[in-house]
A and B are shown apart, each in its own frame.
Chain A
Amino acid sequence: MRSAEVILEVKGLTTSFQTAGGCVRAVNDLSFTLRRGETLAIVGESGCGKSVTSFSLMRLLSRQAQIQGEAWLSGRAGERLNLFALSETAMETVRGNQLGMIFQEPMTSLNPLQQVGQQIAEAMLVHKHCDRKTARRRALELLTLVGISAPEIRAQQYPHQMSGGMRQRVMIAIALACQPQVLIADEPTTALDVTIQAQILRLMRKLQSEVGMGMLFITHDMGVVAQIADRVAVMYGGQLVEMADTRTLFRRPLHPYTQGLLASVPRPGQTGRLVGIPGQVETVYGPHLGCRYVNRCAQASEVCRVDRPLLFAHPEQQQVRCHFAGK
């Protein structure tokens, strides 16, 4: 995986919103790379900036949002595109084409008045990948690919005739229709039952290795991270606090927040009280001093209040933003 070509490179992504209370930096100086065939999970709790990251990359935020930084996508023809510098017209040819996306709630992402087969074909037609007839045939192939039986019948059904898991499979088929370079999946299994979640995770893993795209998988669930990710980026308060290989992160989490997140999930055989993390995520307006996690951290000391920790690179490519972790 290390040797595969870098397909998405994000440098210094900062997204801020003007609100009544002041300027909120939802994402603060986030940098990462994604390689072909790799799954990078972005994990964190509500308000950590994980969804704003995906919406920033797709350029789906409203005009109030200010996006700074660069996001270089390697195009299909080998071109390098800075997503944040493209015109809106140019972005429209990239979005849904080279950059696919799956959202949490498939019912709000699908058109209730259109047959699902048409919705899959539409993606290919809008981006002029093929003619109508080929698109229809490909839609059936894609339905089979995502594990839907009797695709001829299913293609003619409407979203309300399908279960949640089935709809999410259709969403995946739409996202894959144009064979994107990068797929952004924002909590794609959160609304599903565990047995269906297991099927969808397994499907996404299989498809990704077949198609060879890069996948950015956004979730709050450490269990899901362990199941799907090659690498993990942990975010807190808009910042990257730790990034590592999945195995390294679960074996040896360095940041106190990562440790707390892992301790909040009951392990097999664990009974009674859970460990958890005291307090809650705070919104910070304007620039802040010190570490964002300081008020919830058991290891915090005076330096954490006044001095902003920088991302520190450890061996094994593990990065951590903490004054004390691993030193």
Chain B
Amino acid sequence: MHTSSEKSPVAADSGDAILSFAKVGITFQTRTGMFGPSRQLRAVQDVSFDLMRGEVLGIVGESGSGKSTLARLAMRLLQPTSGQILYEGKPISWYQGAQLKLLRSDVQMVFQDPNASLNPRLTIEQSLLEPLVLHGRGDRQERNTEIRRLLGVVGLPVSVLQRYPHEMSGGQKQRVVIARALALKPKVLIADEAVAALDASVKAQIINLLLDLQREYQLSIIFISHDLPMVQAMCDRVMVLYLGRLMEYAPRAVIEQGGRHPYTRALWKSSPAADPDCRLEEQEMLAGEIPSPLNPPPGCVFHTRCAQAVARCKQVVPALSRLSPQHGAACILFEKSSEN
């Protein structure tokens, strides 16, 4: 199955990829203060993965891990400075004009804060109609029917059409945002911390909605979150990022068992379990904080916080080692076992 393994190691064992990242990196030029020296911020480095048709791929990491940058790269809101992103087999930089418009409707995004995603001066009806009008879908009658159907899909009553965002709860607004993202019948939905701002019970409702939509419309979903237990529960495969680098990719079953990479394991240990008999223990906790991406540590970026780090971790950037056909980890602990 993995004939093109050099290009994209994170691939499922069947089906074809709709979106592929091949050794993608992006570097920003930043400046400290008005006259400070220009510095390079490598937000994402050398990340490869395939999003398969109809799968839910989870991307998990702490702030500064590059997960939102990945989403923006996939949306072509940012251009990679190295590597290539393929959509339906073609580089996304190839898409221009009418083709680009198609790409835009095919790949849709849901952000964390529905208040920032909805125009406060537009009614829900106007917000939902906007993408259909912009992309010239249907006539007036068809569009009106379509947005009513969409409301039904996301479980909102038709009565919300005349409301403004401020008249609705956070969960309802997020449903509107999802309905709007679905309006153009996308193939890929990128949810960037889409449930992070919601209450627990509403969070579960939205997760269920996304899973239902995925099944019904054969959507491919990239679910970006800092919440590993949540990602584990809803995604088919999971990628763990740290400081812009891929630490581990694995099918759900492996992540559920705790993963193999020291960072994945530490993330699990830090996630508060809803069980008073499993309290966080100091020896299992990650010390220190995520270093600045402006000044990343040499060698393995995780070595400054890793309990298993050895001297060589400071010098060598570990390659992704394949532990099984669908499972890889970037850590020198695994290097020997994979090279042969």
Contacts from A to B (Cβ < 8 Å): 45-46, 163, 165-166, 193-199, 201-202, 220-227, 229, 246-247, 250, 260-278, 280-281
Contacts and interface: CB of A to CB of B under 8 A. Distances in A.
7 contacts: A193-B63, A194-B267, A197-B272, A202-B285, A226-B276, A266-B233, A273-B207
Nearest to A261: B200
A195 B286 contact: yes
A278 B206 CA distance: 11
Contact of A226 (B169, B256, B273): B273
B234 interface: yes
Given A195-B266, A247-B276, A264-B200, A269 B286 contact: no
Contacts of A247: 276-277
B205 A223 contact: no
Interface in B163-195: 169-172
Interface of B: 62-63, 169-172, 199-205, 207-208, 211, 226-230, 232-234, 252, 256, 266-267, 269-280, 282, 285-287, 289-290, 305
Nearest to A270: B233
A268 B275 CA distance: 11
Given A45-B200, A46-B199, 20 more contacts: A46-B170, A166-B289, A193-B63, A195-B290, A196-B289, A198-B269, A201-B272, A220-B200, A226-B275, A226-B279, A227-B273, A261-B200, A262-B274, A264-B200, A270-B233, A274-B207, A276-B205, A277-B205, A280-B202, A281-B199
Given A194-B226, A269-B256, A274-B207, A280 B272 contact: no
B204 A280 contact: no
Residue from A194, A261, A264, A273 having most chain B Cβ neighbours under 10 A: A194
Contacts of B228: 194
Contacts of B230: 266
A205 to B, nearest CB: 8
Contacts of A223: 271-274
Given A45-B199, A266-B232, A274 B204 contact: yes
B43 to A, nearest CB: 17
B250 to A, nearest CB: 14
Nearest to A260: B201
A265 B276 contact: no
B211 A272 contact: yes
A193 B267 CA distance: 10
Nearest to A247: B276
A229 B274 CA distance: 11
Nearest to B61: A193
A269 B277 CA distance: 17
Given A194-B226, A273-B211, A274-B233, A163 B289 contact: yes
B246 to A, nearest CB: 18
Contacts of A268: 229, 256, 273
Contact of A195 (B200, B267, B275, B279): B267
B21 to A, nearest CB: 24
A317 B63 CA distance: 41
B280 A271 contact: no
Given A194-B228, A266-B229, A266-B230, A202 B211 contact: no
Contacts of A260: 201
A281 B263 CA distance: 37
